[in-house]
Chains A and B, each alone.
Chain A
Amino acid sequence: MRYLPLTQPDRAAMLTVIGANSVDDLFVDVPEAARLDGPIHGLPMHASEMAVERHMTALSRKNIAASDGPFFLGCGAYKHHVPASVDHLIQRGEFLTAYTPYQPEIAQGTLQMLFEFQTQVARLLGTDVANASMYDGSTACWEAIGMARRVTKRGRAILSSGLHPHYVSVAKTMAKFTGDVLETSAPTLAAETDIDALIAAIDDTTSCVVVQYPDILGRIADLRPLADACHAKKALLIAVVTEPVAMGAIVSPGEMDADIVVGEGQSLGVGLQFGGPYVGLFGCKEKYVRQMPGRLCGETVDADGRRGFVLTLSTREQHIRREKATSNICTNSGLCALAFSIHMTLLGEAGLRRLAGINHAGAVHAARRLAEIPGVELVNDLFFNEFTLKLPTEARPIVRQLADRGILAGVSLGRLYPGVDALANGLVVAVTETTSADDVEALATALQEILA
């Protein structure tokens, strides 16, 4: 077996040193009834690199890839171009095959990268500080709600109807066990967000309001009045960003005084990957840093006075505090954080703003073109690179028919909100720098034909 370097003579010599007759002697503590005497029946035996490659490639070809044709899906995962150097750099063995940096003297590469990542994320989200990443946006969102409970010592969270329904589902699952009370609702197909309703719902028992920006329908709204309303009642405002590229074009939630800003960082560096692994972003105001979940990297000096970085404030964490930890999280999403950070460094501020501008311009063009189709309405007044169309009929079967024509048209709200009839005609369309004018035209033509 190509990954196992021990030879039979090695094994024999080692057993002699150990004082065992056979390797079976080393498993003597396994109760006899549970010992397997050979390879498990019914599973294939080892295979060559070529054979495995053939098997996996055949499976991969049963999928339609985003780049195979016109592609307009978003809703929490976006197709962006990732520069080739990103994937090259994250595959350097010193990054790829390193562990969590518990031995900082020989992990400064990962640690300095995390410090840079934390700073990039904090600046992007407009927060004072950010952590070294979470699993993904949905789990970061839940962790933020838990953090708001610890900070405010209240357990009633108000979730905007514009929050991604999967994020709501995750929060609902967790709240069942923690006893948090969540107020949730489904969005309406209107240009207005639910900010006024959220403001009206805040009271002295509210721990936090959770609002997505841009929201699940692609809408954007000024968060400042909501932040003020939260703070007037000593509640926290949590903002969720699932498309970080948007921050290149619009004011960030932190700049609008959100207390905690979490996000899904997949757009930068990570790729679609059928939903994971992704990278959760988590930033907050400095005064709440000791209630933050997850790893934090901090600057310090070594014994010779040289700048260096370490994991810090670990008294919040499970390996020190055990049952009193702020979260049970251990592994984060280090390599995806690296990919995010490299992509962000390649872009820089100028590149990010240019990228965001291209995304927005493409989306505006697509929205106008698609809204010309008879019976199709654009729901949004404002949006970044994703908008919602109201079709004259249920969107879900239309998406399937367009897929048969090789066009991945967007996410039907029927898929995300099954059973909510008022949303069934909604189609969320995302446009990025990878979308060409021809792609938009192909979608518009096909959609018009199907609807006719």
Chain B
Amino acid sequence: MSINQSGWRPTAPEAREGNVPASVTGNKALMLEEALIFEIGDAKTTGVDFAEGDVAHDMLGDLTRKAPIGLPGLSEPETVRHYTRLSRQNYGIDLGFFPLGSCTMKHNPRLNEKMARLPGFSDVHPLQPVDTVQGALEVIHQLAHWLVTLTGMTSVAMSPKAGAHGELCGILAIRAALEAKGEGHRKVILVPESAHGTNPATAAFAGYSVEDIPATAEGRVDTAALKARLGPDVAGVMITNPNTCGLFERDMREISDAVHAAGGFVYCDGANFNAIVGRVRPGDLGIDAMHINLHKTFSTPHGGGGPGSGPVVFSEALTPFAPLPFVEKQGDRFELIEEETAGEHHAGSFGRMVAFHGQMGMFTRALTYILSHGADGLRQVAEDAVLNANYILRSLDSTLDAPFGPSGPCMHEALFSDAGLAEGFSTIDVAKGLIDEGYHPMTMYFPLVVHGAMLVEPTETESKAALDQFIAALRSVAERAKAGDPALKTAPHFAPRSRLDETLAARKPVLVWKDPAPLAEAAE
């Protein structure tokens, strides 16, 4: 009552229940329903004004468009309102805590956005003469220097477009290196059970057969099993470190040495580099290749599913095989090394992975973030991320089952299982319950090595107060799931939508809007 000083008393909630009619619009005050552009727009409306002038179609031959395309337009105010309304049906980090394990949803500083939009970066064509893009090449060169130094590696390929694309880059370099040594017969890549799905998909795409390596009871790679499997048919291993259980692979150096001794290479999935940046250099652990998700460690925005950026750092052994293009400093000048200029010096390169030079817009954001933090700030990033995760782990391990809690401290994420929930209740019920509490849920059912996994990654950009509130909320929801509260089975109750029928969506896919049949036809 301390907020309301006027003496006015809000109506008691019980008095409001019952007879409140549904709104005729389907809206609920600030929660506004929004139709599709195909339902509210039309082909004649445009929100863009053009100068008058000649628009003759005289060099198109028989290909001149005659048929309609079917693209609805909206005026500018309608457009702004449409997308603003849609945006409000989304959860984002700007709105609240987003502990999506392995995805690293940290604050996205707006300075990064501002810098990426400087015309000298945003309005530059990739094929301009090199003399006119020296600043752009210098950005790539500076970021590359940071990445190589922070990881203790020899070189970096900047062009991969996202983490999975970076994985492919690393594995292709390994394959090129093996083939150059006459070891192309090595056809097996070992992948721990706890790996991201992209790892086996990448290895298979690159022509390898994938074999799983089991985890130990404490949640780490079974080093003995891995060593036992090494041999003349093994091209390499793909290991995530820190791993997807949120643990540091203690034996990483030993594993790397064993793989190297057996003639293979070590790929590290660097999705979790944010846990160790500034505290550990992967190069010191014997890694040969590792991608870095700039959108995880270096805070470029996730944008509802990309764009990402996945530069790959290489050891000395793999450097000659790195893809084109890359930037080289020659005296005071920055050169773009492409097919033409690769020559003998870079003749081992396995080739090009993308048109142009990579995700420049993400490079400017990541470099801005890195310069803001500096060497000291980045180290603090890792420390606070790990501290926050351990705080969550120890605050909740008496409420939820933490299968690897006894293994010691976690790194940047805390892993729980669904053990102890009431019969018929699973991780999804906890997740949907958290939505009603105003949170984005944690990662569900991943990693696969834990039953009903709940992977909580707080990141370093959350305050202790935010963590305390989340801990209280998750504790409450977990207790309800343990007690078998039926209201959780139908959660969320307060979101723009209740649970969606994913089976229906997959069984009868409706992937594009189809204009409804005219009324006359429908009536027949």
Closest to B432 in A: A105
Contacts of B103 in A (CB 8 A): 99
- When A and B form their complex, what is the total count of cross-chain residue pairs whose Cβ atoms lie within 8 Å? 720
Any A CB within 8 A of the CB of B431? yes
Contact partner of A348 among B43, B119, B435, CB < 8 A? Answer: B43
- Is the CB–CB distance between B201 and A43 below 8 Å? no
Contact partner of B94 among A7, A96, A296, CB < 8 A? Answer: A96
Shortest CB distance B276–A (Å): 7
- Is the CB–CB distance between B59 and A128 below 8 Å? no
Shortest CB distance A416–B (Å): 8
- Is the CB–CB distance between A331 and B305 below 8 Å? yes
Shortest CB distance A4–B (Å): 6
Stretch in B311-319, B378-386, B415-423, B473-481 with 4+ CB within 8 Å of A: B378-386
- Is the CB–CB distance between A271 and B120 below 8 Å? no
Contacts of B200 in A (CB 8 A): 318, 322-323
Any B CB within 8 A of the CB of A138? yes
Shortest CB distance B261–A (Å): 18
Also in contact, A53 and B91, with CB within 8 A (given A28-B409, A63-B120, A222-B63): no
**B263-299 interface mask toward A, CB cutoff 8 Å, 1 = contact, 0 = none?**
0000000000000101111001100000000010001
Contacts of A325 in B (CB 8 A): 197, 201, 204
- Is the CB–CB distance between A30 and B361 below 8 Å? no
- Complex Cα gap A390–B394 (Å): 71
Kindly name the residue among A30, A76, A106, A306 whose own CB sees the greatest number of chain B CB atoms within 10 A: A106
**B27-42 interface mask toward A, CB cutoff 8 Å, 1 = contact, 0 = none?**
0000000101110011
Contacts of A306 in B (CB 8 A): 497-498
Contacts of A77 in B (CB 8 A): 125-127, 356
**A114-144 interface mask toward B, CB cutoff 8 Å, 1 = contact, 0 = none?**
0110111011100011101101111100000
Contacts of A323 in B (CB 8 A): 200-201, 203-204, 210
Also in contact, A112 and B36, with CB within 8 A (given A170-B354, A327-B201): yes
Any B CB within 8 A of the CB of A235? no
- Complex Cα gap A353–B60 (Å): 14
- Is the CB–CB distance between A123 and B71 below 8 Å? yes
- Complex Cα gap A15–B359 (Å): 39
Contact partner of B499 among A35, A105, A328, A403, CB < 8 A? Answer: A105
- Is the CB–CB distance between A335 and B301 below 8 Å? yes
- Is the CB–CB distance between B496 and A346 below 8 Å? no
- Is the CB–CB distance between B70 and A298 below 8 Å? no
User: Which residues of A (368-425) have their CB < 8 Å from a CB of B?
Assistant: 380-384, 399-400, 403, 408, 411, 415-416, 418-419
The interface size of chain B toward A, counting residues with CB under 8 Å, comes to 206
Any A CB within 8 A of the CB of B486? no
- Is the CB–CB distance between A345 and B72 below 8 Å? yes
Closest to A283 in B: B512
Closest to A27 in B: B279
Contact partner of B56 among A103, A297, A361, A403, CB < 8 A? Answer: A361
Also in contact, A108 and B89, with CB within 8 A (given A14-B391, A36-B281, A350-B73): yes
Any A CB within 8 A of the CB of B227? no
- Is the CB–CB distance between B355 and A136 below 8 Å? yes
- Is the CB–CB distance between B129 and A138 below 8 Å? no
Contacts of B511 in A (CB 8 A): 115, 118, 129-130, 289, 296-299, 312
- Is the CB–CB distance between B61 and A220 below 8 Å? yes
- Complex Cα gap A60–B116 (Å): 9
Also in contact, A418 and B303, with CB within 8 A (given A1-B373, A119-B512): no
User: Which residues of B (31-88) have their CB < 8 Å from a CB of A?
Assistant: 34, 36-38, 41-48, 50-51, 53-74, 76, 79-80, 82-84, 86-88
- Is the CB–CB distance between A351 and B135 below 8 Å? no
Q: State the 4 A-B residue pairs at the shortest beta-carbon distance, nearest first.
A: A348-B73, A275-B356, A93-B94, A60-B120
Sample (22) of A-B pairs whose CB atoms are under 8 Å apart: A5-B461, A13-B464, A29-B250, A56-B139, A60-B120, A62-B135, A83-B76, A88-B80, A94-B91, A95-B303, A119-B513, A122-B512, A169-B339, A177-B205, A274-B124, A276-B358, A312-B511, A317-B197, A328-B168, A331-B162, A335-B304, A360-B59
- A52-B372, A276-B362, A318-B201 are known contacts; what are 18 more A-B pairs with Cβ within 8 Å? A27-B386, A36-B278, A36-B281, A55-B371, A85-B76, A93-B94, A97-B94, A97-B105, A98-B90, A107-B304, A108-B497, A116-B36, A272-B125, A275-B355, A276-B126, A299-B505, A330-B198, A352-B71
